[in-house]
Amino acid sequence: MIRHPAIPARYTQLMNRNVCSLVFLAIAAPLNAGIQTRPGDEPPPVVEGQIYDNLGGGIDNVDVTLRSNNAAPPIATAKTDQYGDFRIHHGQPLAGKFEILFHKNGYADVTREFEIKPDQPPPFIDLSLVGGLRLTGQVRDALNDRPVARTDVTVTVNGRDWSAETDDDGSFAVERLLPGPIQIRVLADGFAGASIDIPLDDVDVPVRIKLEPERIVEFKTVDPTGKSIPDVTLELLDPTGNDYRSATSDQNGSAIVRNLSMAAERMMLRASHAAFVSDAGFDRRIDLPPGQPRSIQGIVLAAAASVSGTVTNAATHAPLLGVRVDVADLDYRTTVRGWTDADGRFDIAGALPGQNIVTAYLNGFAPELTFVALQSSAGPPVDFALGQPREAAGIVLDPDGDPVPNAHVYATSWRGHPALGVQALSGGDGRFSLFNLPHDAFEVTVEAVGFEPIAGQIITPGKSDYQLALKRGDPAAGLAGALKPADPFPELELKTVDGRTIRTADWQGKTVLIDFWATWCAPCIAEIPGLRTIQREFGARADFQLISISIDSDAERDAVRQFIKKNKMDWTHVVGADSGAERAAKTCAVSFIPQTFLLGPDGKILAAGLLGKPLHDAVSTALRDPKTSP
């Protein structure tokens, strides 16, 4: 496993890529070689290809039939493998025009015409199958059982949405649905929104949905003096009712949120505005008056500060591109981030007024930190000149003087603050190395399963002979700060690669597997085949969901999407800080990757940190006998 430096949980840090690259070089070749295999002794096929779904994941067990025309008998047949690949072989050479038919229950049949040319490579056919299922239903008023017309109905399957509107009889129909877990969301004027999940086996049975009366909440957004603030984005989350709403305040600072459930007793709120201090998460609790269909809530936002400056190379004075600049108040209540452009310039808004820590990081340079008093008005520029980095190294030993492998060494305090995101993992010989270090000393913590942690160890950059001795501890205790079985899983909001917003509240009643990973983490890559097996066996169930959260950077999102498609990882994915991945890792106290959490239907953790076969067995057991956490 690889250490993620979001330690402690309330601090935002990034991964030290130099350390990760050492691990990757050691084991990447055999791991990558085993991701996908193809038979090597077969004769060449007459035609081959790949069949995939709307997310780019391969579809297995598709019947593939080769024929000369639609009235002719089959010439040859095949089935797609677990990756959606197929190859059709024939005992004798073929040439001319042919048809190929693709069929699988739940999908629409597809026929393609193609030509086989002598002495040419076999044709390659790739296509995405569309759904072949039909869902019908009716929406009615729960109070008087009358049909509700003109209701917006959204049906979601595997990240894709289908829309419909009810007719005068309250009925709706959705065609060409894909196989998979089905979620139906209904929204109508004057009613509370409704969301239901239905099993795939029940798609042929008409759905009956009854709508309850709505609750309306009006928000007044003001600054500390009582002046109205327009253009504030308000997001509300009902942690118990799977309900999410958003609105933007008008010129009078008013925002009205409708379609809330009368059963909701409280909502969690996040307020955002570019010129004011925005909420990092859903930290504001809104208590709703019982029995009152309409209420007014006041929201106060403080004016934010901004900071700008340039970062240059201390040796050449040239501007540096891509420097990460973090701005945080002394209590780390608010952290905002930006990157330098080609001119080495950064402009960051949304900081908390007052004393702030501004830190600059770039791989291959020594980080720098300064303290700045920020006000709501723009202040003087903050400039950095980054010099050459230093290194430190040593060995982690047990009480007998033997090396401790897989010990995690990570920075916890630099100049009195947790602003240095460096870490290392000891090898089989117990040795570790820390890279991209500043020139002055800092503190680290050392952790290993089965040992008591060392905290406050001083590391002086440039020294390479540290001997860090651990005392034996409880092997079952795990690592400090980590989530463990029976803990409630934290509230998260994430944006998937296909643009959907998903929240912890959406997972109530489901068994959910959360996987934290990155494309540059070789142990993470090694887990992909096992995750594919889990998705293949359980992914079609309405009561199961697999979600992978990548802590790759936002700049690498497109590359990660290609990686996901290439490796046929056909499940839900979240990538990058802007999608909430880094905040999720921090909130979940993820210190190392790969890291997994298996959640029960009650939202509590059933298992944490499982990989490989133990993870597969835990998922299988949980779905065979669904239960709450121990």
> Taking 80 as the threshold, does the pLDDT of residue 537 lie above it?
yes
Mapped onto helix, strand or coil, the DSSP state of residue 230 is coil
What is the pLDDT at residue 191? Answer: 95
Which tens digit of pLDDT belongs to each residue from 98-142? 999 999 988 999 999 999 998 899 999 999 998 888 999 999 999
Pair (608, 500) in one structural domain: yes
Last-in-domain residue among 249, 271, 300: 300
What is the pLDDT at residue 24? Answer: 30
What is the pLDDT at residue 9? Answer: 29
Pair (177, 265) in one structural domain: no
> Taking 90 as the threshold, does the pLDDT of residue 361 lie above it?
yes
Count of other CB atoms within 10 angstroms of residue 414:
23
* Residue ranges of E strands in 104-189: 110-116, 124-128, 133-141, 152-157, 160-165, 171-177, 182-187
What is the pLDDT at residue 624? Answer: 80
> Taking 60 as the threshold, does the pLDDT of residue 353 lie above it?
yes
> Taking 60 as the threshold, does the pLDDT of residue 587 lie above it?
yes
| Mean pLDDT score across all residues of the chain | 84
Pair (242, 191) in one structural domain: no
What is the pLDDT at residue 3? Answer: 39
Pair (341, 380) in one structural domain: yes
What does the alpha-carbon distance between residue 466 and residue 3 come to, in Å, rounded to a whole number?
A: 19
Quote the DSSP letter at residue 184: E
Encode burial over 597-616: b for 16+ CB neighbours within 10 A, e otherwise.
bbbbbebebbbbbbbeeebb
Pair (160, 95) in one structural domain: no
pLDDT band at 503 (very low <50, low <70, confident <90, very high): confident
Residue 525 lies in a domain: yes
What is the pLDDT at residue 245? Answer: 81
What does the alpha-carbon distance between residue 594 and residue 605 come to, in Å, rounded to a whole number?
A: 17
Residue 190 lies in a domain: yes
Count of other CB atoms within 10 angstroms of residue 56:
18
Pair (198, 228) in one structural domain: no
Which tens digit of pLDDT belongs to each residue from 195-247? 888 876 556 788 999 999 999 999 999 999 999 999 999 988 776 655 778 89
Mapped onto helix, strand or coil, the DSSP state of residue 161 is strand
Task: Return phi, psi of residue 617, to 5°.
Answer: -65, -40
What does the alpha-carbon distance between residue 532 and residue 82 come to, in Å, rounded to a whole number?
A: 9
Whose CA is closest to 431, among 392, 393, 460?
393
> Taking 60 as the threshold, does the pLDDT of residue 611 lie above it?
yes
Pair (165, 182) in one structural domain: yes
User: Could you tell me if 473 and 448 are in contact, meaning their C-beta atoms sit under 8 angstroms apart?
Assistant: no
What is the pLDDT at residue 69? Answer: 78
What does the alpha-carbon distance between residue 167 and residue 152 come to, in Å, rounded to a whole number?
A: 10
> Taking 90 as the threshold, does the pLDDT of residue 11 lie above it?
no
Strand partners, 294: 216
What is the pLDDT at residue 482? Answer: 65
> Taking 50 as the threshold, does the pLDDT of residue 346 lie above it?
yes
Pair (151, 242) in one structural domain: no
What is the pLDDT at residue 214? Answer: 93
> Taking 60 as the threshold, does the pLDDT of residue 33 lie above it?
no
Least confident of 16-25, 312-321, 522-531: 16-25
Residue 600 lies in a domain: yes
Helices (H), 408-506: none
Q: How far is CA 627 from CA 241, 481, 604, in A?
A: 20, 25, 10
Q: What is the CATH number of the domain that holds 499?
A: 3.40.30.10
Q: How far is CA 403 from CA 35, 406, 431, in A?
A: 32, 10, 8
Task: Return phi, psi of residue 574, to 5°.
Answer: -125, 130
Q: State the Rg of the chain over Cα.
A: 28
What does the alpha-carbon distance between residue 419 and residue 422 come to, in Å, rounded to a whole number?
A: 9
Q: What is the CATH number of the domain that holds 323?
A: 2.60.40.1120
Q: What is the pTM of this model?
A: 0.58
Residue 589 lies in a domain: yes
Whose CA is closest to 329, among 360, 356, 359, 369?
356
> Taking 60 as the threshold, does the pLDDT of residue 34 lie above it?
no
Residue 422 lies in a domain: no
Residue 428 lies in a domain: no
> Taking 60 as the threshold, does the pLDDT of residue 305 lie above it?
yes
Which tens digit of pLDDT belongs to each residue from 144-203? 999 999 999 999 887 678 999 999 999 999 998 888 778 899 999 999 988 888 876 556
Residue 3 lies in a domain: no
> Taking 70 as the threshold, does the pLDDT of residue 14 lie above it?
no
pLDDT band at 428 (very low <50, low <70, confident <90, very high): confident
pLDDT band at 13 (very low <50, low <70, confident <90, very high): very low
Query: Which domain range does residue 243 map to?
Result: 214-300
All residues at 6 or more sequence positions from 562 whose CB lies less than 8 Å from its CB, including other chains: none
> Taking 60 as the threshold, does the pLDDT of residue 300 lie above it?
yes
Mapped onto helix, strand or coil, the DSSP state of residue 434 is strand
Which tens digit of pLDDT belongs to each residue from 598-608? 999 888 899 88
What does the alpha-carbon distance between residue 510 and residue 242 come to, in Å, rounded to a whole number?
A: 12
Q: Give how many domains the chain has, as a whole number.
A: 5
Average pLDDT over residues 264-272: 87
Average pLDDT over residues 432-453: 90
Average pLDDT over residues 278-298: 88
What does the alpha-carbon distance between residue 155 and residue 162 come to, in Å, rounded to a whole number?
A: 5
What is the pLDDT at residue 203? Answer: 67
Pair (502, 616) in one structural domain: yes
The H or E element spanning position 616 is: helix 612-624
Highest mean pLDDT among 26-35, 83-92, 380-389, 573-582: 380-389
